[in-house]
Amino acid sequence: MSTTTQPIRLIVGLGNPGAEYAATRHNAGFWWVEALARELGVSLRLESKFLGLAGRSRDDIWLLEPTTYMNRSGQSVAALARFYKIQPESVLVVHDELDLLPGEAKLKQGGSHAGHNGLKDIQALLGTPNFWRLRLGIGHPRTLNLNQSVVDFVLQKPRQNEQPDIDAAIERSLKAWPLLAAGEFPRATMVVNTKPKAAKPAE
């Protein structure tokens, strides 16, 4: 039986617009999409009718960064998806994930928005949770032994020891892009979900 299904046609990175948010944990989705744009040679430009920065690859794949702020991301995603008749099953949303540690990443289709305001709005505006999600671990203040609220945590920069792990997860998960573009989701999931090997202690 073939493992190839409908390929990804729209990749959405979630984050907040503005220089003051650019380096914060909540913008991890933007980081991933910008890295893919560089790899594909795609320029992201303001598209007012799609409420975001958007660009299209030579293979007719759309990349999108909503400029609506996180809790209104669905307005941007739904506008582009409906205009180009892209089904939710062909949409990949890349976002920060509190339930994964920095350095971890997970690929899945559907499921709960788990309180993530960006996912919540996309689910509401698309009318289904059945889009794909690439979850980039940023950790949780509780698991990282930080005495701060989740709101404050996601709107701050990763600590110096966390950023390299997040960057490594982005680099690793980008290797799954050719598989996602081909609709080979089981293989892509294996690439993304494989945890990085722990470094061996120095002897």
Return the SS3 of 102.
coil
Six-digit token string for 30: 């933007």
- CA pair distance 169, 173, nearest whole angstrom: 6
For residue 54, which of 90, 12, 91 has the smallest C-alpha distance?
12
Six-digit token string for 87: 């089904």
- Whether 113 is catalytic is no
Question: Are residues 138 and 96 in contact, defined by beta-carbon separation less than 8 angstroms?
Answer: yes
* H/E stretch holding 76: helix 73-83
* H/E stretch holding 12: strand 10-13
Where helices occur in 23-116 by DSSP H, the ranges are 28-40, 73-83
- CA pair distance 94, 138, nearest whole angstrom: 13
For residue 76, which of 91, 61, 89, 57 has the smallest C-alpha distance?
91
Residue 176 CB coordination number (10 Å): 22
Residues belonging to the active site: 26
